[in-house]
């Protein structure tokens, strides 16, 4: 009984991710001068599971996301309209969104912690891969 209660009280989202709706995340990001990062995944995506097992558990990634973003993890097959709005065609896709809902940029595919921090930092700094 106690174990069932503990499981029921556990957050549905782990690691650096917030349990918020997309509009609430935009509002929170605007209040804190941050951006929203949405990790669009699917339950059958191998690279998505690898991100969960490695990158999203890395302490440096968790800290970076907490300082600069309001991070969401959304199943693209559940959040179909939002995935369509941002043109998601591959998984995982991490979309960085300004508080007004406009896309700042995206990262596609698995990134290890170092690769994610470099690419996401460049993206937030306005650098492109060609810079």
Catalytic residue positions, numbered = 45, 48
- Cα separation, 57 vs 77, in Å, equals 24
Residue whose C-alpha is closest to residue 106's, from 117, 93, 115, 118: 93
In the numeric block, which tokens belong to residue 40? 């669009």
In the numeric block, which tokens belong to residue 49? 């599971």
Residue 56 DSSP label? G
- Cα separation, 75 vs 92, in Å, equals 10
């Amino acid at each position: 009984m106690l174990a069932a209660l503990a499981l029921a009280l556990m957050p549905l989202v782990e690691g650096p991710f917030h349990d918020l709706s997309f509009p609430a995340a935009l509002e929170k990001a605007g209040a804190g001068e941050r951006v929203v990062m949405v990790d669009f995944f699917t339950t059958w995506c191998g690279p998505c599971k690898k991100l969960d097992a490695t990158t999203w558990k890395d302490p440096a990634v968790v800290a970076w996301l907490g300082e600069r973003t309001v991070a969401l993890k959304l199943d693209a097959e559940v959040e179909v309209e939002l995935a369509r709005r941002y043109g998601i065609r591959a998984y995982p896709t991490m979309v960085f969104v300004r508080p007004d809902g406009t896309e700042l940029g995206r990262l596609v595919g698995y990134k290890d912690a170092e690769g994610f921090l470099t690419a996401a930092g460049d993206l937030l700094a306005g650098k492109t891969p060609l810079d």
